[in-house]
Chains A and B, each alone.
Chain A
Amino acid sequence: MKRTSVAIVIALVAVFAIAGGWRRHASASSPTGAEQVIHLTAKKFEYTPNEITVKKGVPVVLEITSLDRDHGFKVPEFGLRADVKPGETTRVRLVPDRIGRFEFRCDVFCGSGHEDMAGEIVVVD
């Protein structure tokens, strides 16, 4: 049953990623109270997914890998930042303490388009 849920989530992520013009969206489901794990990839000049939905108060770990070069991952409103390097998995732990939409962005200059490399964490009740 759990495998089926994960497969559905992955399929949904893939559908949103393929659909042009839509934000690439991910919301990880997990047993109540358990730590969510959400995978992101970074490449010039985008994160996939670029919208992540999480629940207030539920710990989440973002596992980020780079597909091309050095990037950064910064969520100013939660005081988070990390380097994202090719060949490594960067883990960023977050316990969202307020609802809202919070921007994350690359803070390692990666070329023309760097300033557009951003996404949002959506925290819901």
Chain B
Amino acid sequence: MTRHLDRREFIQLAGLTTAGIAGVVFSSGLRGVSLAAEKGKTEDFMFLQMSDLHWGFTGPAINPNADVTLDKAIAHVNALSRQPDFIVFTGDLTHTTDDADERRKRLVHVRDAVGKLKVKSQRYLAGEHDASLDRAEAFKESFGETHYTFDHKGVHFIALDNVSDPQGKLGDDQIQWLRADLAKHDKETPIVVLTHRPLFDLAPDWDWATSDGAAAIEALMPYEYVTVFYGHIHQEHHHMTGHIPHHAAKGLMFALPAPHSVPKKMPIPWDAANPYRGLGFRTVQAKAGSDDLALAELAVETV
């Protein structure tokens, strides 16, 4: 069944009602959905991407409201008039700590917090802050496996783990697993890949890369309709590798500067005149019968 957004919903999704903090809406090809729709394989749906919660981070100059930002975001999501089919969390649910007990406490806190979301269908990826110090041992206790697949209304989703290895790579075993999974699908299947780090070399000297990400992209390249969503860089960013678009999401704790825009990568200081600027999440709408994938960038509410 096709359901179109009315104007009010569209504006709300665009975040244009959020106390002067406007979101950005544009379309990007969700490649293959229309073709699959013609074959009766897809339906309209919307999912939501939240990323880089960094629960446990402290730094008043960066985010003086660190203890309530996640709750605000959850309240904002719960207030959306149209709820997503599911929510994906693309890593760094917690801020890193050397204390294994504290790491577990932070992960449990996030698990309990996101349990307050109305939408109970949730998928989780780890970030290096969650998983790189213990190869995801604690993360798995709260959130399960770190790489997996699922299918939703005709779209095949692949969650990749490029953080459990502290060198920030996928590893040969996972790449082999990816190839084996892809081999089960025809080349026209709509595919969405979820990762924490970018699979391409966005800024390796800023640790914005996956050292063996090129192997994953090579495996994906024969598939006509692939879209990648990731986190890690705490800002909206869009990039193409061949025909494959890669979309980075904003973070929910602090913003980072554009790649190589400053000599040294540092969190962007809090702007009291524009609280929560640079923080947010996004909705992704797949419309059957259209090759457009609507991305809507939402700001964290300021009220």
**Known contacts being A76-B205, A111-B133, A115-B265, is A70 close to B166, with CB within 8 Å?**
yes
**A110 to B163 alpha-carbon distance, docked (Å):** 12
Q: Which residue of chain B is the closest to A109 with respect to CB atoms?
A: B132
Residue A103 at the chain B interface, CB threshold 8 Å: yes
**Known contacts being A76-B204, A105-B205, is A111 close to B167, with CB within 8 Å?**
no
* Contact across chains for B205 and A107 when beta carbons are under 8 A apart: no
**A109 to B207 alpha-carbon distance, docked (Å):** 10
**Known contacts being A70-B166, A72-B167, A107-B167, is A112 close to B205, with CB within 8 Å?**
no
Output the least CB separation between A102 and chain B (Å). 11
Residues on the B chain within 8 Å of A72, using CB? 167
Output the least CB separation between A79 and chain B (Å). 12
Residue A92 at the chain B interface, CB threshold 8 Å: no
Among residues 28 to 58 in chain A, which have CB atoms less than 8 Å away from a CB atom of chain B?
A: none
**15 A–B pairs (Cβ distance < 8 Å), ordered by A:** A70-B166, A72-B167, A103-B205, A105-B205, A107-B167, A107-B168, A108-B167, A109-B128, A109-B133, A109-B163, A109-B167, A111-B97, A111-B98, A112-B97, A115-B206
Residues on the B chain within 8 Å of A115, using CB? 206-207, 265
Residues on the A chain within 8 Å of B167, using CB? 72, 107-109
For B160-171 the 0/1 string (1 means CB < 8 A from A) is: 000100111000
Q: Which residue of chain A is the closest to B265 with respect to CB atoms?
A: A115
A-contacting residues of B (Cβ < 8 Å)? 95-98, 128-129, 132-133, 163, 166-168, 204-207, 211, 265
**A46 to B256 alpha-carbon distance, docked (Å):** 22
For A77-105 the 0/1 string (1 means CB < 8 A from B) is: 00000000000000000000000000101
For A55-82 the 0/1 string (1 means CB < 8 A from B) is: 0000000000000001010001000000
Residues on the B chain within 8 Å of A103, using CB? 205
Residues on the B chain within 8 Å of A108, using CB? 166-167
Residues on the A chain within 8 Å of B204, using CB? 76
Most B-side CB within 10 Å, residue of A107, A108, A109, A111: A109
Residues on the A chain within 8 Å of B96, using CB? 109, 111-112
* Contact across chains for A109 and B168 when beta carbons are under 8 A apart: yes
Output the least CB separation between A112 and chain B (Å). 5
Q: Which residue of chain B is the closest to A108 with respect to CB atoms?
A: B166
Output the least CB separation between A85 and chain B (Å). 12
Residues on the B chain within 8 Å of A105, using CB? 205
Question: Beyond A108-B166, A110-B166, A111-B96: 11 further Cβ-contacts under 8 Å?
Answer: A70-B166, A72-B167, A76-B205, A107-B211, A109-B96, A109-B163, A109-B166, A109-B167, A111-B97, A111-B98, A112-B129
Residues on the A chain within 8 Å of B265, using CB? 115
**A111 to B207 alpha-carbon distance, docked (Å):** 13
Residues on the A chain within 8 Å of B207, using CB? 107, 114-115
Interchain residue pairs A-B with the least CB separation, the first 6: A109-B132, A109-B166, A108-B166, A109-B128, A112-B96, A111-B98
Output the least CB separation between A44 and chain B (Å). 8
